[in-house]
Amino acid sequence: MHRKTFTLLLILSFFLILLIVSCKSQKTPTATPSAQIPAATASAIPTLPVGTPAPDKGIVTGVLLRKMPDGSVQSVGTRLFLAKLLTNQQGTIVPLAGLLESEAPFAFPDQRGQFVFSDVEPATYALVIRAPAFAMLARDMATGEDVVIKVVAGQVIDLGTITVEANY
């Protein structure tokens, strides 16, 4: 059982690394002073609480929607992870990310697609969508770029609304 789990994690990690290597550009949002998130759509669903980050941690929040083939949009409805971008020997970030699901920050979007990652260690991360059979980088349709976030201690990073293609 443990060998199968390890093998599956190794394969998923390799696939994620290949995806990140293929990305040519990155979106690095800036921190916003507000901890309030605008609703993706008008509804009676309450907004997820964001809170205040600890002095040595950050918070990442936003709304993630997927565009369906008929043009409608809906919540991704699956778990999200922050995969830490790797660095070379000189400390420079390289276009590779490592995702160990048991240790990575994760969030579950609500019905509107709103998500909150709390208590995130300062670093640079890629946003990963965990579908049932695979993991993929979140590529924002508006920019055509993979979503990359630089988490800063004591700050709330609001990614706004990100729309991805419904290819899973």
**What are the angstrom distances between the C-alpha of 113 and each of 21, 50, 60?**
27, 14, 14
Residue 51: per-residue pLDDT: 84
Return the structure tokens found at 148: 């990359």
Residue 60: per-residue pLDDT: 96
Please count the other Cβ atoms lying within 10 Å of the Cβ belonging to residue 124: 17
Residue-wise pLDDT tens digits, 45-94: 456 778 889 999 999 999 999 999 998 898 888 999 999 998 889 888 88
Confidence of residue 39 (pLDDT cuts 50, 70, 90): very low
φ, ψ (nearest 5 deg) of residue 46: -70, 155
Examine the pLDDT at 41 and tell me if it is beyond 80: no
Residue 27: per-residue pLDDT: 45
Asked if 126 and 97 touch (Cβ cutoff 8 Å), the reply is: yes
Residue 96: per-residue pLDDT: 84
Residue-wise pLDDT tens digits, 99-119: 989 999 999 999 999 999 999
Q: Which residue has the higher pLDDT, 153 or 25?
A: 153
Domain residue limits, the chain: 2-41+49-165
Closest CA relative to residue 29, chosen from 124, 138, 136: 124
Confidence of residue 168 (pLDDT cuts 50, 70, 90): low
Residue 150: per-residue pLDDT: 96
Return the structure tokens found at 162: 């990100």
DSSP3 helix / strand / coil % (the chain, rounded to 5): 10, 40, 45
The structure's pTM equals 0.70
May I ask the CATH architecture of the domain 2-41+49-165? Answer: Sandwich (2.60)
